[in-house]
Amino acid sequence: MTNATAPKEHSGDVRLSGISKTYGSFTAVHPLDLTVPQGSFFALLGASGCGKTTTLRMIAGLEEPSTGTVCLGEQDVTALPPYKRPVNTVFQSYALFPHLDIFENVAFGLRRRGIKSVKQQVGDMLDLVQLGEQARKKPHQLSGGQQQRVAVARALINHPKVLLLDEPLGALDLKLRRQMQLELKRIQTEVGITFVHVTHDQEEAMTMADTVAVMNGGRVEQQGAPADLYENPRTTFVANFLGTSNFIEAEVAEAGGDDVVLKAGGGKLTLPKARCTAPATTGGRVLVGVRPEKISLTHADDAGAIPDGRNRITGRIADSSFIGVSTQYVVNSPVCEAFEVYAQNIERDPRLVPGADVVLHWNPAHTFGLDADQDAEAGVEKVEEDA
Ligand SMILES: Nc1ncnc2c1ncn2[C@@H]1O[C@H](COP(=O)(O)OP(=O)(O)O)[C@@H](O)[C@H]1O
Ligand SMILES: [Mg+2]
């Protein structure tokens, strides 16, 4: 889809073509093609060790790719040293100059290029990150979040085409991290520069990014808008790594119409064919997935009141935790151990306690189907705090 205006429109793109990195016999990043549209907020999401930093460092020029090319806009920068690339990087450890005040930290890039009148630009940058009042303080007098904003201002003042951020919020506590996520998103929207943000935190990636690429073992498993990835995961890894998914292994009973009808245990489940990425042939196996917040719990005594047409399975509550906005239930079902159900705390049925027999039911439209040859537990393990 090229046209005459394409080069201009795409001048800020990051394009990786067949880029890979091997260390001896170990492949950290498998040949990877990735396009980051200009002006977008792009997140590379994955567990520790999956190759995020390596990918980012290849964009920055800090790591030489084993194969492939890096283009920034129209320019092939693969052979350029880092300082000649129109990119800047913000790391988890903000590494500000401790002896310089905030103003001078931000002015650093300009001064190094011999620019004398820095006042206006530094002032604008400090306003952008809302630290105008702190200009004459030293880094150690600021909070972690403020220091990280200085690091962002210090990078942005060089007017990079692309800002690379490697777990920039990793050292902050949860509440501050949430605040900074919104803050970074605001800054990106305001400056309109392409941000490539690396994180192992799925909530962070979904909050901030226009597009999320989920990495696993040196490969991008899937990329898309956060809601699309969440609702339509194509692998169990993505389904489990982004939030929580329940899986039921089922057998295809009928696949003639718009819906796939499946047998699980003694019951039947319905899955829209358009949401089934596995080959649906009669007698074949499919992993039926459904998110915990899509499911309703009804006490077995009231099962008759459940409307027709909903997918339903039976089970017994094994555990429940009151979270405030929701109650999270673990339900053991003959078709699935440890089914997770999140119920909003609106009207709580006091009978829904551990030991209660229940029916779990949901709208078939909220069901997705995946290839049953995959490990249903892929991506489940808890990620360490530091990546
Ligand atoms: N210089 C290196 N030499 C050997 N192995 C490396 C080197 N740098 C990274 N690796 C390995 O490559 C893999 C990916 O690392 P990295 O890109 O840092 O992952 P992430 O940022 O996703 O945590 C890891 O298994 C890591 O141990
Ligand atoms: Mg890393």
Domains in the chain: boundaries: 14-236, 237-386
Inter-CA distances, 26 with 221, 378, 386, Å: 19, 21, 22
The ligand whose atoms approach the alpha carbon of 54 most closely is 1
Q: Is 28 in the pocket of ligand 1 (CB under 6 A)?
A: yes
Closest C-alpha residue for ligand 1 atom 2: 23
Q: What is the pLDDT of residues 59-114, one digit of tens each?
A: 999 999 999 999 999 899 999 999 999 999 998 877 899 999 999 999 999 999 89
- Angle ∠(309,315,316) on CA atoms, nearest 5: 145
CATH 3.40.30.10 fits 14-236, yes or no: no
Q: How confident is the model at residue 1 (pLDDT cuts 50, 70, 90)?
A: very low
Please give the distance, rounded to the nearest whole angstrom, from the Cα atom of residue 65 to the centre of ligand 1. Answer: 13
Quick one: pLDDT at residue 383? 46
Q: What is the pLDDT of residues 331-371, one digit of tens each?
A: 999 999 999 999 999 988 999 999 999 999 999 999 999 99
Quick one: pLDDT at residue 258? 95
Please give the distance, rounded to the nearest whole angstrom, from the Cα atom of residue 181 to the centre of ligand 2. Answer: 18
Give the fold, CATH level 3, of 237-386. Answer: OB fold (Dihydrolipoamide Acetyltransferase, E2P) (2.40.50)
The ligand whose atoms approach the alpha carbon of 168 most closely is 2
Quick one: pLDDT at residue 137? 96
Q: What is the pLDDT of residues 266-323, one digit of tens each?
A: 899 999 999 999 888 899 999 999 999 999 999 999 999 999 999 999 999 999 999 9
Percentage with pLDDT > 90 across the chain: 83
Amino acid at residue number 323: I
pLDDT: is 41 or 176 the higher one?
Answer: 41
Best mutation site among 21, 25, 50 for ligand 1 pocket (most ligand atoms within 8 Å of CB): 50
Please give the distance, rounded to the nearest whole angstrom, from the Cα atom of residue 209 to the centre of ligand 2. Answer: 18
pLDDT surpasses 50 at 3: no
Closest C-alpha residue for ligand 1 atom 16: 51
Percentage with pLDDT > 70 across the chain: 95
Q: How confident is the model at residue 7 (pLDDT cuts 50, 70, 90)?
A: very low
pLDDT surpasses 70 at 175: yes
**Which residues sit with Cβ closer than 5 angstroms to ligand 2, an ion?**
53, 387
Q: Is 49 in the pocket of ligand 1 (CB under 6 A)?
A: yes
Please give the distance, rounded to the nearest whole angstrom, from the Cα atom of residue 251 to the centre of ligand 1. Answer: 40
Q: Is 170 in the pocket of ligand 1 (CB under 6 A)?
A: no
Residues 226 and 203: their CA atoms lie apart, in Å, by: 10
Please give the distance, rounded to the nearest whole angstrom, from the Cα atom of residue 69 to the centre of ligand 2. Answer: 21
Segments of the chain assigned E as strands:
14-23, 26-36, 41-45, 67-72, 75-76, 87-91, 162-166, 194-199, 211-216, 219-224, 246-254, 259-264, 267-272, 285-290, 296-299, 311-322, 326-333, 336-344, 357-362, 368-371
pLDDT surpasses 60 at 9: no
Q: Is 25 in the pocket of ligand 1 (CB under 6 A)?
A: no
Tokens standing for 302? 């009231």
